[in-house]
């Protein structure tokens, strides 16, 4: 796949991919044809680029060795067992998340609401029933709950349900809210756990003029005030916008709004063909010149790119783009196969009925069971015919993706959109071309960052692989390893993405945070320091010498200079550098874990003494 400044070479069935420069792509193209001896490859390369044989041999040997290491070529023919679909390779292991549609009552009546919430909507189950259901779900080992509606803040028992999930069961909770009721009771927030309780706030425009025709008069100001309050109280907040034809051009302004409110994450939600929007979309659009409330693919692609540019400039994470980067950079041979509904995720609606996902909530044809009438959630999860049908669905049986070499990275699209636009789980997803474009953009972004690091003045001009799938990847543990060691990953509901995007970074934080609290000898660098360099450093810091060696000696900081250590850990290199720069110099240590910084600060005074 030729791109602007490089070529993407994809092994679609693995999946695996690399990005290479022009000469590297030429070598890979030649290798993909009739097998040839290495000497022939060198001779052809030397002739093509006018190089003497010795230099050509070095170039080709270096490139082919790297290509073999990344698994994009093989020195000998190899056979892979056929992928038969996720149900053939996997069995149910554990539920990882649960959506609680606590009520369908809402103080708003948004035009695009897929469950048609309103002030007249269902109030939801009593507290004690939710308490029992939450206990059942927690016992199934979930990592995360979602509370959605309706508007969760309409329920007076919301604080009790939140504390039950976060404080009693110690599980992460995401609350999806319009935030308009937050400021009416800000003290409610004081007792909530900032690490486990997070919010996704819905706003559909950067101004009342754009937002309020969609969500209701006065809703914009109330939502912005609520979002600011949540951010000010120290909660992790994502601003989410349902993308329609009427707000498409305004999306970069929504990014600016997020940044101005102290919100560091933005989410774009692709509109479902379900609920109130169906009725609204059949009416003449007096306020819009667009022929449809559903934007076209090209419009969506350009809008997403505009938002990404603005988000990068403002320091806001666009979780849709980040999610595709994580997928593009998953470990090679990880097959993404449709969504996690029915496998790792369930939804309990306001009346206790179970559905495959939040987008399917209260859609009667997809009813899975009654969790309030004698059946346990575990029984429903294992035995529901609807859930079994979803689990049988696979990207290998999806006609829309059959000719796509990226299908195991796109995952085949969204089963929810497929179902509501076509009536079938494996029907066409109208947003599939958008996913393809976003995936290619993600592969380009990964490549661009690597290409920018190339030293083009070094004189070494061999062909290059800029990036290979899985380089620097952090494995989150949410994939399933099935029969014949096939590794399968699931897509996440488009309703929420940002908190999954954050998970790899937080896994690293947690790992090294624990290593700060309890020294782990197996992580320590085998390199030993000169005793003269570390004699002034406490043993508790030396016990946490993690990494691959010290850069201080190579940097050779001098008296009076400023030294900055990125990834400073427990501070060992900062303390060595401090001795070198002396009292007239300055040393800064930057680390991603509070625990490591705490160890460093605790030792700071001892080192100074």
Q: Taking a C-beta distance cutoff of 8 angstroms, is the pair 122, 104 a contact? A: yes
Does residue 233 sit within a domain? yes
- Whether residue 478 has pLDDT greater than 50: yes
What are the backbone angles phi and psi of residue 489, rounded to the nearest 5°? -120, 155
- Say yes or no: 382 and 531 in one domain: no
Which CATH number covers residue 558? Answer: 3.40.50.150
Task: Please enumerate in sequence order all residues whose Cβ is within 8 A of that of 188, keeping only pairs 6 or more positions apart, or say none.
Answer: 158, 159
In a domain, 244, yes or no: yes
Give the helix/strand (H/E) hosting 487. Answer: strand 487-491
Range of the domain at 186: 92-395
Alpha-carbon span 31 to 65, nearest angstrom: 13
What pLDDT digit, counting tens, does each position of 160-205 carry? 999 999 999 999 999 999 999 999 887 889 889 999 999 999 999 9
C-alpha 254/C-alpha 241 separation (Å) is 8
**486: in domain:** no
- Residue 507: pLDDT over 80: no
What dihedral do alpha carbons 528, 532, 536, 541 form, nearest 10°?
Answer: 0
> Which of 395, 427, 448 corresponds to the end of one domain?
395
So what's the pLDDT on residue 286? Answer: 43
Using DSSP's 3-state secondary structure scheme, residue 188 falls into: helix
Summarize the confidence of residues 129-134 as an average pLDDT: 98
CA distances from 90 to 87, 225, 251, 485 (A): 5, 46, 40, 10
Res 504: pLDDT: 52
**Domains held by the chain: number:** 2
Does 113 map to a domain?
A: yes
Give a yes or no: residue 539 inside a domain: yes
The structure tokens listed for 489 are 């990953």
pLDDT of res. 287? 46
Residue 495 falls inside a structural domain = no
Q: Is residue 119 part of a domain?
A: yes
Which of 342, 373, 395 is the last residue in one of the domains? Answer: 395
Q: Which CATH number is 204's domain given?
A: 3.20.20.70
Residue 494 CB-density burial (10 A; 0-12 exposed, 13-18 middle, 19+ buried): buried
Q: Which of 358, 373, 395 is the last residue of a domain?
A: 395
Q: What is the mean pLDDT of residues 410-436?
A: 97
pTM above threshold 0.75: yes
Nearest one of 348, 387, 346 to 366, comparing CA atoms: 387
Residue 86 lies in a domain: no
SS3 471: coil
DSSP assignment letter at 105: B
Could you report how far apart the first and last alpha carbons of the chain are, in Å? Answer: 61
């Amino acid at each position: 796949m030729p791109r602007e400044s490089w070529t993407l070479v994809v092994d679609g069935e693995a999946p695996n991919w690399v990005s290479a420069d022009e000469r590297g792509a030429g070598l890979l193209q030649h290798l993909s044809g009739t097998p040839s001896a290495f000497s022939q490859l060198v001779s052809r390369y030397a002739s093509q680029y006018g190089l003497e044989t010795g230099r050509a041999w070095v170039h080709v040997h270096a490139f082919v060795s790297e290509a073999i290491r990344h698994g994009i070529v093989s020195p000998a023919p190899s056979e892979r067992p056929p992928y038969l679909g996720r149900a053939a390779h996997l069995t149910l292991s554990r539920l990882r998340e649960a959506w609680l549609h606590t009520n369908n009552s809402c103080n708003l009546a948004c035009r695009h609401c897929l469950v048609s919430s309103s002030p007249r909507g269902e109030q939801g189950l009593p507290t004690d029933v939710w308490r029992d259901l939450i206990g059942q779900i927690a016992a199934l080992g979930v990592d995360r709950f979602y509370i959605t509606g309706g508007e969760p803040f309409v329920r007076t028992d919301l604080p009790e349900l939140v504390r039950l999930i976060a404080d009693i069961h110690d599980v992460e909770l995401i609350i999806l809210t319009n935030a308009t009721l937050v400021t009416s009771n800000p003290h409610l927030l004081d007792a909530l756990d900032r690490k486990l309780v997070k919010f996704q706030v819905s706003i559909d425009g950067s101004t009342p003029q754009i937002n309020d025709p969609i969500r209701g008069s006065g809703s914009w100001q109330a939502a912005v005030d609520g979002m600011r309050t949540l951010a000010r109280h120290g909660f992790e907040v994502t601003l989410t916008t349902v993308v329609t034809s009427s707000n498409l051009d305004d999306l970069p302004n929504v990014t600016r709004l997020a940044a101005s409110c102290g919100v560091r994450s933005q989410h774009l939600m692709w509109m479902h063909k379900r609920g109130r929007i169906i009725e609204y979309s059949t009416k003449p659009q007096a306020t819009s010149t667009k022929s449809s409330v559903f934007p076209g693919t090209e419009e969506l692609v350009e809008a997403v790119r505009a938002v990404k540019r603005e988000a990068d400039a403002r320091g806001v994470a666009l979780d849709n783009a980040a999610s595709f980067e994580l997928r593009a950079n998953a470990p090679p041979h990880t097959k993404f196969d449709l969504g996690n509904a029915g496998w790792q995720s369930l939804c309990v609606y306001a009346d206790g009925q179970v559905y495959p996902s939040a987008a399917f909530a209260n859609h009667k044809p997809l009813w899975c069971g009654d969790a309030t009438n004698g059946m346990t959630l575990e029984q429903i999860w294992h035995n529901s015919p609807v859930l079994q049908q979803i689990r049988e669905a696979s990207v290998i049986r999806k006609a829309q993706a059959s000719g796509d070499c990226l299908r195991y990275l796109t995952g085949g699209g969204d089963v929810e959109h497929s179902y509501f636009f076509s009536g079938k789980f494996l029907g066409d997803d109208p947003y599939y071309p958008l996913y393809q474009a976003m995936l290619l953009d993600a592969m380009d972004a990964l490549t661009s960052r690597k290409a920018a690091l190339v030293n083009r003045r070094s004189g070494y001009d061999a062909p290059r692989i800029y990036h290979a799938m899985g380089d620097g990847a952090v494995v989150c543990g949410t994939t399933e390893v099935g029969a014949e060691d096939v590794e399968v990953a699931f897509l996440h509901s488009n309703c929420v993405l940002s908190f999954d995007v954050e998970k790899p970074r937080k896994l690293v934080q947690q790992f090294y945070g624990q290593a700060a609290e309890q020294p782990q000898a197996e992580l320590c660098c085998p390199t030993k320091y000169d005793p003269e360099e570390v004699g002034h450093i406490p043993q508790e810091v030396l016990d946490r010498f993690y990494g691959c060696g010290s850069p201080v000696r190579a940097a050779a900081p001098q008296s009076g200079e400023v030294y900055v250590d990125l990834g400073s850990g427990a501070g060992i290199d900062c303390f060595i550098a401090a001795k070198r720069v002396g009292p007239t110099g300055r040393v800064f240590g930057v680390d991603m874990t509070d625990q490591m910084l705490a160890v460093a600060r605790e030792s700071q005074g001892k080192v100074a003494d």
